[in-house]
Amino acid sequence: MQSRELVLQQNNTVSTTREILYAIWGVALAVLFPVVFHFFQLGSTFLPMFVPVLTAALAVSPFTAYIIGAVSPFVSFAATGMPTIVPPVAAVMAVELSLIAALTSVLSHHTRWSPWLIIPFVMLFDRIGMALFVTIATPGFMTLAAISAGFPGVILQIALVPILGKWLLRHEK
């Protein structure tokens, strides 16, 4: 019985270590990607912070995915000054990223859905949620313009995140 408990403890330690490493990887790339994209003036168009957060979310637990999404904008602000705290872009992004990262992880771990189905579903959920948020938070604001501004980023995520997610999961063994 002790050897079984030891194996469970070792597996749990490996799992915890893996979660921590993926979380660090996701947050670090969530800081780096926007820097690269903003250098070419493509930041708000391609939503570069979303790619590493959603990719990591495919491989980690929903709780860890939520944390990655919640802290990434603030770590990025501390390291680079973006996204801004005032106006509260970082806070809005933290809520948005944490929710879609957790949803991505839940769908990845608790359904038989492929990342090719998960990411478009999550992006649709995100765009609808942002449309509702913008409509409620800023009545009279151009909701369609606010939501469609990141459309190229949605396409990038749908194309890139499943590929990166499969690569990440294949190399975890």
- pTM more than 0.85: no
Neighbour count for residue 7 (Cβ, 10 Å): 10
For 66, how many CA atoms within 13 A lie in the half-sphere containing its CB?
7
Residue with the bigger pLDDT between 143 and 156: it is 156
**pLDDT for residue 61 is more than 80:** yes
Neighbour count for residue 148 (Cβ, 10 Å): 13
pLDDT digits (tens, 9 = 90+) for 16-50: 888 999 999 999 999 999 999 989 988 778 889 99
Neighbour count for residue 2 (Cβ, 10 Å): 6
The CATH topology of domain 2-170 is Arp2/3 complex 21 kDa subunit ARPC3 (1.10.1760)
Across 19-28, 43-52, 75-84, 111-120, least confident range:
43-52
